[in-house]
């Protein structure tokens, strides 16, 4: 939903090392985390530079920075996409001809992009089909995939997070709070089934990312799980105290990664490839820290 009293405002011109995170102004009476959408802009030292409202009521679930330097903020509850250009200016949202609750975006080597449909519920606020849509560089719809989903614990979560393997065809994805990391062949449009299933309590997986060495890193709520090719071999990495470690982002340098604590609003940085602890930062953003994007 759009609140006409809110107007998408500008960020500052983007600089190398700038970091963006969602920063909703949550409604404490809402059943699920929901509020006025906003994006914060930090410098490389996490000093706040600017904050811009999106003009939508919901919860930003995904951020993405295109190769052209355009920041995308995706709000599946509001069924909205808010874009900011490299000068920090608000840009028109692309006309996709598809009304869906998209929550994640991946930019492709050919100039196109993938959008993951965050929702797969029946009629109502969480309505969706859990699809993945592929768009060309000109914004035209090229393909619609129907990957396997499980709804998560609420039953309405579709493709909430995605990561594309180095081969450019194998898409890993999850329905957050479910136990399964799925794989889908984009070239043959074929479900590859469960790549990895978490069997230890609480049996949940969340955001994921491809590491520079090709392994898959998955936020697992109370720890980080790193999964090797094939999905059966993995190692768990201990994280600072917290139960809401729900997304992972590899930094552009490939030398470290961020793990995001949704409930606590803190960011942990781990060095790569050994996952040694670097720092933890409290951004004072509980139940809003769903995603992060960094300018190379």
Over the Cα atoms of the chain, what is R_g? 18
Reported as a single tens digit per residue, the pLDDT across 122-162 is: 999 899 999 999 999 999 999 999 999 999 999 999 999 99
DSSP readout, 235-276? EEEE-SS-S-EEEEEE-TTSSEEEEEETTTTEEEEEETTT--
pLDDT tens per residue across span 60-86: 999 999 999 999 999 999 999 999 999
Q: How far apart are CA 124 and CA 118, in angstroms?
A: 14
In the chain, where are the structural domains located? 207-296
> Cβ distance 92 to 84 under 8 Å?
no
* Paired residues of 209 in beta bridges: 217
Cα distance between residue 257 and residue 234, in whole Å: 18
User: Which pTM does this prediction carry?
Assistant: 0.95
- Reported as a pLDDT band with limits 50, 70 and 90, residue 243 is confident
Question: What class is the 207-296 domain?
Answer: mainly beta
User: Between β-strands 266-271 and 113-117, what pairing exists: parallel, antiparallel or unpaired?
Assistant: unpaired
Are 246 and 258 contacting, i.e. CB atoms less than 8 angstroms apart? Answer: no
Q: In the structure, what pLDDT confidence band is assigned to residue 93 with cuts at 50, 70 and 90?
A: confident
Residue 7 binned pLDDT confidence (cut-offs 50, 70, 90): low
Residue 1: per-residue pLDDT: 42
Q: Answer whether 34's CB lies under 8 Å from 59's CB.
A: yes
């Amino acid at each position: 939903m759009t609140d006409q009293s809110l107007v998408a405002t500008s960020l500052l011109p983007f600089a190398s090392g700038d970091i963006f995170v969602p920063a909703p102004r949550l409604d404490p009476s809402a059943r699920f985390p929901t509020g006025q959408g906003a994006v914060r802009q930090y410098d490389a030292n996490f000093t706040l530079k600017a904050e811009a409202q999106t003009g939508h009521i919901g919860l930003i679930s995904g951020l993405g920075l295109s190769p052209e330097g355009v920041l995308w903020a995706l709000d599946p509850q509001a069924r909205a996409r808010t874009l900011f250009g490299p000068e920090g200016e608000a840009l028109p949202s692309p006309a996709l001809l598809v009304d869906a609750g998209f929550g994640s975006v991946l930019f492709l080597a050919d100039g196109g992009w993938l959008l993951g449909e965050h929702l797969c519920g029946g009629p109502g606020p969480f309505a969706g089909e859990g699809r993945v849509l592929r768009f060309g560089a000109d914004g035209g719809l090229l393909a619609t995939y129907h990957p396997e989903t499980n709804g998560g614990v609420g039953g309405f979560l579709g493709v909430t997070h995605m990561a594309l393997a180095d081969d450019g065809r194998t898409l890993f994805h999850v329905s957050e709070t479910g136990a399964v990391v799925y794989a889908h062949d984009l070239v043959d449009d074929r479900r590859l089934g469960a790549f990895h299933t978490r069997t230890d309590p609480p049996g949940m997986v969340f955001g994921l990312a491809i590491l520079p060495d090709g392994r898959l890193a998955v936020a697992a709520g109370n720890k980080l799980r790193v999964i090797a090719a094939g999905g059966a071999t993995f190692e768990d990495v201990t994280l600072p105290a917290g139960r809401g470690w729900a997304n992972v982002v590899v930094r552009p340098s490939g030398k470290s990664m961020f793990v995001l604590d949704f409930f606590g609003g803190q960011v942990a940085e781990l060095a790569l490839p050994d996952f040694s602890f670097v720092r933890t930062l409290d951004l004072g953003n509980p139940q809003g820290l769903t995603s992060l994007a960094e300018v190379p």
